[in-house]
Structure 1
Amino acid sequence: MAPVPTAERILRAARALFEREGADAVSMRRVAEAVGITPMAIYRHFPNRGALLRRVSDDSFNEIAHRWEALRKGGDPIAHLLAIQRIYLDYALAHPHLFDHAFSARREDARRFPEDFHARRSPTLNVVHDTVVEGQQAGLLRAGDPWDIAMALWVHSHGLVALYRAGRFSYDERRFRTFYEASLGRLLDGLKA
């Protein structure tokens, strides 16, 4: 078996720190210690800490986008939208630090609506948009700007997840998931043609 390239080992160590302790815990020194290299050696692969964090975040976006895209192979677009939002919830609860950095932390490199999304710079919302378009073309979803509809779905799910994680629900996780599904169903019912 070929050895794991240094850049990949750096990314794995950075992600492990990120997952356990959040973005603030990812320092070049701590990553280097975990990999067994000097902090300066990291700069051969990543120009700065921001680039390393951006790569961890981008990899995270791509990971969830691939899972969402796998759902779109034929079938009912409404069912796909529900499944996408379930995966979003699963991801938020399983990876809270990555989720916060990707979707809740203010960052200069964060994508902005509508320009970045219309330019298809979001690997995740591209999938939702394309699924909305499929639903509209099949006559299942009402007409309207598919980007605006995709954003409405995201805002709905994100808002519920953020409120749950902030302790604004007295529900345990099982009851929250039930509420989340029902609320999402009501939103999709309103979007149906």
Structure 2
Amino acid sequence: MAIRQRIVVPAAALALTGGLAAAEASTATAAQPASERTTAAAADGGTYLYFDKNQSNPGNSRLYLMRSIPDAKDQVLAKYRAGSGDEGPNGKDECASSQGWLPNGTYQVLAHDAHYNGGDLGVNGKVIHVEDKVCENGRTTRAELFVHSEMWPEGSQASPEPGKDSPYRWEGSDDYRSLGCIKLKPADIDHLFTKAGQAGWPTKLKVVS
């Protein structure tokens, strides 16, 4: 499968989605009785994403939605097969821009959007955007990093075209390959958005190997 070029996301669009997400969260919190908000805040420390790289098969790595529990073991809320990086010689080189998988470390989640339009051959539909990260060489910055799938901006799948790999349709396991982003199949990113909406949107992504 040919690896497709990434689309740079306009900063204004990210600011908009981040603002919408914050407004939605504020509205939902305000609707809760004060006693319930206090109890919830004391009971847990929020949610985060945890990506565990598979050294033997990067396309069969794991992404977890986790709940942080103060003074206790963190709770797994959901678990998905995920991929990051391509299958070439640099697929596991975190400093190989547009080839290698994500650098290890902790990332801030910048925004999420259920109907993102990244343009032709871009990142579309349900996306979670995370901050840029300087890789282990201290010089190379990996940028425009997302958790995403392959779909139209509104979330549907393109019609199949024999012999053609569409960026708007999930054809199979080869689609777990990416230019550094974390990719899920459509059903799994749909489930992740539902779970995150219920449990609270993650504010961080932790990447380990």
Calculate the TM-score normalised by the size of structure 2. Answer: 0.27
Structure of larger gyration radius: 1
Higher strand share: 2
Higher helix share: 1
> Which of 1 and 2 has higher RCO (CA within 8 Å, sep 6+)?
2
Calculate the TM-score normalised by the size of structure 1. Answer: 0.28
